Amino acid sequence: MRNLLGLFLSCLATFAADRPNVIFILTDDQGYGDISANGNPLVKTPNIDKFKSQSVHFEDFHVSPTCSPTRSALLTGRHEFKNGVTHTIFERERMTLKATTLTQLLQKSGYRTGIFGKWHLGDEAEYQPGRRGFDEVFIHGAGGIGQSYPGSCGDAPGNTYFDPYVLHNGKFEKTKGFCTDVFFAQATKWIEQQAAARQPFYAYLATNAPHAPYTAKPEDSAQFIGKVPAGTEGFFGMIIDIDRHLGKFMARLTELGLDDNTLIVFMNDNGSAAGEPVFAAGMRGHKGSPFLGGTRAMSFWRWKGHLEPHAVTGLAAHIDYFPTIAELTGTVIPEEVRPQVEGRSLVPLLKDGAAKWEDRTLFTHVGRWAPTADPETGRLRDTSVRTTRWHLVSQAQGPKAKTAPHWQLFDLSNDYAEKSDVSAQHPDVVADLSTRHSAWWAGVRPMMVNEGVQGPAENPFKVLYREQVGK
């Protein structure tokens, strides 16, 4: 046993010494079942499939049901509600300024950091990624290109997926091409610069695609016309375009000689927004749902020569990303930041899919109650408690959701599709998990710092755009 422990610690020391570059690719609204490697019968994604085959891939990895919440959890290592993120708009997408981000620690550890694409954690100046640990910032505003809502969340006015204006280190630039073209190109250019300088880097490539509106390149969406529900052809078209870009991107990394010292993680941010009617990978739910179809995500980790491809069945989540990247890069988490990080390092599972992995309790909550509503009215609406075996879900609606949950219980050991409610057969499990939920809610409720906050009269992106571009 002592020899095994020594070998394991030696492996971890080697990981830290290698100080890999890290590239994190996060797609927007693509679901677990929206690739051919996971069974989709219509969408062909040969490059993502190949990437999965070369990676450690998690089979039970979960994120939040919507965009901003997942992004905040990834960057902080804790549940989104503790970051004040309970929605994707109405100032409730803003990640609390009291949180320490992974990228802030990476900067202090000697990494150059860059973000390309979607931020969606606050469009006001103090919330922008340039102040949250990113050296290079190349982003659109709001949750999607061209979106605009009352208050602080909004993109440059009139922006579209083709030739969008992008905010580049504080200055708006008119770009050329489809948004996915633009973000991959800029990320590649920046990575080339870091490679030339022999500078360790962290690149966060967060595509806006395949988020609505489902506008794809015509030749890509044309492949699905008449085969899928209206609108889904554009959604699937954007996915095959992402796949094409991933193939080119990986080839370029090989040309740059970055294959052996770069960890590349591919993930999606929530359940499928438009693919579920075609293929749901045997799951119930979709984006915005507390069921597994709303939270199960692709999580593929490729580090050539360091991680042997294998499947992992242990229950893992977005909150685990922060401590895992910190460990793999040899980045110290300061003592004052450690209480913030709820997640576990995935390094044991990355090294060995059968490694011991203790059971855990994860909480999902869709949030999204009305801007002026008391969060207590939504406490038991669209929420769930998860352990390895059990999933307790409440979909109670309206004022009664405060006091009258409609708990459904699913035994995932034989019903991952969540078809059979077994709450009547296991009242002890319902009582236990619902008690855990109550304790969790009591802990997160004081940290919902964005509730009732009044946003600015006009979107900051719109104001800055008018100042710089003049229209």
Task: For residue 459, tell me if it sits in a domain.
Answer: no
Q: What is the CATH number of the domain that holds 434?
A: 3.30.1120.10
347 and 379 inside one domain: no
8 Å CB contact between 325 and 75: no
Q: Other CB atoms closer than 10 Å to residue 188's CB: what's the count?
A: 19
**Which domain covers residue 330, as residue numbers?**
11-351
108 and 209 inside one domain: yes
What Å distances lie between residue 356 and 2, 268, 290, CA to CA?
Answer: 16, 26, 27
Task: For residue 453, tell me if it sits in a domain.
Answer: no
Nearest partner of 136 among 179, 102, 178, 186, judged by Cα: 186
Tens-digit pLDDT profile for residues 289-336: 999 999 999 999 999 999 999 999 999 999 999 999 999 999 999 999
Token digits of residue 55: 């990676």
pLDDT interval class at 398 (50, 70, 90): low
Tens-digit pLDDT profile for residues 182-241: 999 999 999 999 999 999 999 999 999 999 999 999 999 999 999 999 889 999 999 999
The stretch 449-459 carries a mean pLDDT of: 93
- Decide if pLDDT at 4 tops 50: no
Task: For residue 469, tell me if it sits in a domain.
Answer: no
- Decide if pLDDT at 401 tops 50: yes
387 and 308 inside one domain: no
- Decide if pLDDT at 1 tops 50: no
The stretch 383-401 carries a mean pLDDT of: 84
Task: For residue 454, tell me if it sits in a domain.
Answer: no
pLDDT interval class at 400 (50, 70, 90): low
The stretch 118-142 carries a mean pLDDT of: 97
The stretch 439-447 carries a mean pLDDT of: 97
pLDDT at 404: 63
What is the residue-averaged pLDDT of the chain?
Answer: 94
Percent of the chain past pLDDT 70, that is, above it, reads 94
SS3 399: helix
pLDDT interval class at 470 (50, 70, 90): confident
Token digits of residue 440: 């969790």
166 and 27 inside one domain: yes
How far, in Å, CA of 181 to CA of 253, rounded?
16
The stretch 147-176 carries a mean pLDDT of: 96
Tens-digit pLDDT profile for residues 247-300: 999 999 999 999 999 999 999 999 999 999 999 999 999 999 999 999 999 999
